[in-house]
Structure 1
């Protein structure tokens, strides 16, 4: 959701900066607001991308032990990941 928000902010900022040509009597500079929104969109996009890439780390653990009742060697593997598709 954050990546989409960053892209949307960038697009709205680009529209305000380059496509809208309104004279509001010097009260509001729409081009400056557009540039600010474009900058905020880039920052939100990269922060969201950093969190998405950081979340995909996984941990694998393997344990080997001897079962005291039967004397067999038991191996247990556990994989912990935050990515629901794996």
Structure 2
């Protein structure tokens, strides 16, 4: 993996983790929340691992089955893309 790609995934995952933490904090204090679409977009852009870690560590969105299923779908799609890229490229 090129070094710039490694840094991209590092930054997007840290950023996604922080955004999940911010959304959790807003939930605790009954403040305006981020739309789930934003969290999913960050996962699609490569931050799925950061989102998954945040979901587990801070127990955010892990009881909302619809959200969890979409996150799992994103992760499965990314795994399939990686598999196909490694196999055919």
TM-score by length of 1: 0.34
Query: Which is helix-richer, 1 or 2?
Result: 2
Q: TM-score, normalised to structure 2's length?
A: 0.33
Indicate the structure with greater strand content: 1
